[in-house]
Amino acid sequence: MLLALGWLSAHAQADYIVVNSGSTVNLAAQPDTYPEYVWFYNGKVIPNESTAYLAATQEGFYTVFALNEGGCPSDFSDEFQIIFGFPPPTGPSDQIFCANSQKTISDIVVNGENIKWYSTPTGGTPLSPNHLLTSGIYYASQTINGIESPDRFMVTITMVDCSDLLFISKKSNNNFPDVGDLITFTIEVHNNSSIPVTDIVVEEKMPSGYAYISSIASAGIYNPVSGIWVIPEIQSMQSVTLEITVEVLEGGIYKNIVCVISSVPDDPDQDDCAEAETFPTCLLVYNEFTPNGDGENDFFKIRCIDDFPNNTLRIYNRWGHLVYEKKSYQNEWKGIANRGEVMFQEDKKLPTGTYFYSLDLGTGRKPLVGWLYLMQE
């Protein structure tokens, strides 16, 4: 049969107990009606202990089995552990906070149960959880089963000026891309302070005007799905960078915003964000047309030319002679010359063949050049 192992007290039964050093824990085998019991401590038989009761004075693991009148043994009881005292909480022994962040005792990072904070290594009155942090040393205990750890964990707190802890910037290698172009955004995070900053989390979600292609981080890991860049540490007066290559899509939002959302210590600035906006053009030159009056493809068409009202279009023949020129071109050219010798012909129609265009968008960028094929039918 299976025996249950408990301890004689008003406390509820458990598989362990934490008591002060020097205490005695009275254990009882249940049921306690068998003629003989065998007790074990840390896996070894305890000599001269054959009743259902044991006064345990050492910390460790206890178990027991019973013998009936015929000497047949029962199953072993569940194991029971006695702990004389226990260690204090654990955690980083040096922690940094911003002086103007209004952090309290409850913001100190420790691992433990029922934490109490003190200003002294022993004795004293526990500090309020709302106690505002200042630079100095604090001591933490933990309490289990109503017993407070005799030792305390010491944490040194340093309050620093975080008025400009981190600086973030962002730029694009092409502010005026064409739809379909690949461009690269470069994000830089700089530590302006005199201390290392750790556990930096940066949010960099691509807006709808771009499709993610690839990324390279000089430190940390960037997740393109969540848009989160996690940086383990930036040393004082050092920078880390993230380069993200994207494809420019037709339509969508092109303003790209990146922000530092957390760090240790926390930067109290609410403006740790940067943005870079591009101004894509959906320009597309359709380089074949048939100006035969059938209502289909009769004009030399440039998609989105309306976005550039100050444009100038020039058409040259294969010998480099200017045959057409128009300011503020609006997709109205039907292959009729307005420059050069051809314009003096009766119908001014240019012959079938290959021509070259130069399109000045009037934005200060160099003209777009290419070829077109005009087919007269």
User: Would you state the CATH architecture of domain 284-374?
Assistant: Sandwich (2.60)
pLDDT for residue 196: 87
Q: Do domains 4-84 and 284-374 have the same CATH topology?
A: yes
pLDDT for residue 7: 38
Average pLDDT, integer, range 286-296: 90
pLDDT for residue 103: 87
Q: What is the pLDDT of residues 353-365, one digit of tens each?
A: 999 999 999 988 8
Query: Rounded to the nearest 5°, which phi and psi values hold at 106?
Result: -70, -10
pLDDT for residue 111: 92
How many angstroms separate the CA atoms of 29 and 138, rounded? 44
Least confident of 153-167, 174-188, 264-278: 264-278
Average pLDDT, integer, range 301-313: 91
Domain boundaries, the chain: 4-84, 94-160, 166-277, 284-374
Q: What is the pLDDT of residues 163-185, one digit of tens each?
A: 667 888 899 999 888 888 899 99
pTM: 0.51
Answer whether residue 254 shows pLDDT above 80: yes
pLDDT for residue 11: 32
Answer whether residue 328 shows pLDDT above 90: yes
CB burial of 15-50 (b: ≥16 within 10 Å; e: otherwise) equals: eebbbeeeeebebbbeeeebeebbbbbeeeebeebe
**345 confidence band (pLDDT: 50, 70, 90):** low
Higher pLDDT among residues 78 and 334, named by residue: 334
pLDDT for residue 99: 78
Burial class (CB in 10 A: 0-12, 13-18, 19+), 195: middle
Closest CA to 131 of 151, 141, 120, 117: 117
Give the rounded percent of residues in the chain with a pLDDT score beyond 70. 93
Answer whether residue 188 shows pLDDT above 80: yes
Higher pLDDT among residues 56 and 147, named by residue: 56
User: Would you state the CATH architecture of domain 4-84?
Assistant: Sandwich (2.60)
- In Å, how far are 127, 304, 354 from 360, measured between CA atoms? 73, 14, 20
pLDDT for residue 10: 28
pLDDT for residue 270: 57
> How would you classify the pairing of strands 44-45 and 36-41?
antiparallel
How many angstroms separate the CA atoms of 28 and 36, rounded? 13
CATH superfamily of 166-277: Immunoglobulins (2.60.40.10)
pLDDT for residue 258: 93
Average pLDDT, integer, range 1-6: 41
**251 confidence band (pLDDT: 50, 70, 90):** confident
Residue matched to tokens 């005026």: 176
pLDDT for residue 3: 43
pLDDT for residue 359: 95
Answer whether residue 206 shows pLDDT above 80: yes
pLDDT for residue 6: 44
**344 confidence band (pLDDT: 50, 70, 90):** low
Q: For all residues of the chain together, what is the average pLDDT?
A: 87
pLDDT for residue 12: 34
Least confident of 26-35, 143-152, 296-305: 143-152
Q: What is the pLDDT of residues 67-108, one digit of tens each?
A: 998 888 888 888 888 888 778 999 999 888 887 778 899 999
pLDDT for residue 14: 53
